Structure 1
Amino acid sequence: MVNKLTIYIDGWCPICKKFKRIVTKLDFFNLIAVEDIRTSEILDEKKIKLMFSKSSDDLSFYGFDSIFEINKRLVILWILLPFTFVLKITKIGSFLYNELSVKRKIIPLNCDAECKLN
């Protein structure tokens, strides 16, 4: 049996919020919970920069490993599982994830009402 997965997304990031909507729509068996990392107790810079997820048996995943774990739980995407597995073991998936995640704007943790993005 596959364990439930909790994904922690940056609730201030439009890309992350869109990703949350897509995952929620495709999760037919309710195996994935999505939480805002900014309002959780586990907030830190690394977990904001790389998508953090945690399985119900307390295993932690970051970046592309989180994407792979999501892929395992979304039945409709199982056809992509061999492809994502190859990306995972060759580390190409991590490279691509890092290249894409660098392009998104991250609002700093100590940002207040006067905060401006660079």
Structure 2
Amino acid sequence: MTLNLKLIVFYDNWCPMCTYIKQRINRLDWCNLIQMQGIRESGIENKITVPLEELEKKMYAVIKSTGKQVSGIDAITAIAMRIPVLFPLWPLLKLSSSLGLGQKIYQYIADNRSIVPINKCDSSCHIK
């Protein structure tokens, strides 16, 4: 049964907010259903058919058993469905996605996040 629930999540590992969320997901994923994959790692083009330019704009997730790809708020919804403590949020996320509001909020957040390339941060950076 868990084979059908496995999810690969593609996140921007140059984004401090994204890496923080990845760490939280890893801590809460008690059932080991979610595999996090940084989009800045070599060979990423062999793991998902979405171009890097699109992966840089929003989070993508692939359901392992079917190969179905979801993005943005739908990726967040897929994650919430697989993490027991986040499951109560699933109906709200699904409804917001269906109404179109969730994707707009997600895109606003994604468009306003910071990107810090690895080894490109100078002494003024304050990333923890």
- With the shorter chain as reference, the TM-score category is 0.7 to 0.9
Q: For residues 28-65 of structure 1, give each alpha carbon's deviation from its aligned partner in whole angstroms, at most 9, with x where no partner exists.
A: 10000001111122451111211011110200011111
Contact 1:47-1:62 at 8 Å conserved across structures:
no
1:50 is matched with 58
- Equivalent residues, number: 113
Distance verdict in 2 for CA 1:46–1:115, change over 3 Å: farther
Contact 2:9-2:59 at 8 Å conserved across structures:
yes
Q: Does the residue aligned with 2:5 lie in a helix, a strand or coil? A: coil
2:99 is matched with 90
Q: Does the residue aligned with 1:38 lie in a helix, a strand or coil? A: coil
Residue from 67, 70, 75 that aligns with 1:61: 70
Q: For residues 1-32 of structure 1, give each alpha carbon's deviation from its aligned partner in whole angstroms, at most 9, with x where no partner exists.
A: 44210011111110110010010011010000
1:81 is matched with 90
TM-score (norm 2): 0.79
Q: What percent identity do the matched residue pairs reach?
A: 30
**In structure 2, how many angstroms separate the alpha carbons of the residues matched to 1:112 and 1:71?**
29
TM-score (norm 1): 0.85
Q: For the aligned residues, what is the CA RMSD?
A: 2.2
Distance verdict in 2 for CA 1:84–1:114, change over 3 Å: closer
Structure 2: any 5+ residue segments left out of the alignment?
Answer: 123-128
**In structure 2, how many angstroms separate the alpha carbons of the residues matched to 1:24 and 1:113?**
24
- The residue identity in structure 2 corresponding to 1:11 is N
Q: Which has the higher contact order (CA 8 A, sep 6+)?
A: 2
2:9 is matched with 7
Write out the 4+ residue segments of structure 1 that deviate beyond 2 Å after TM superposition: 111-116
2:125 is matched with none
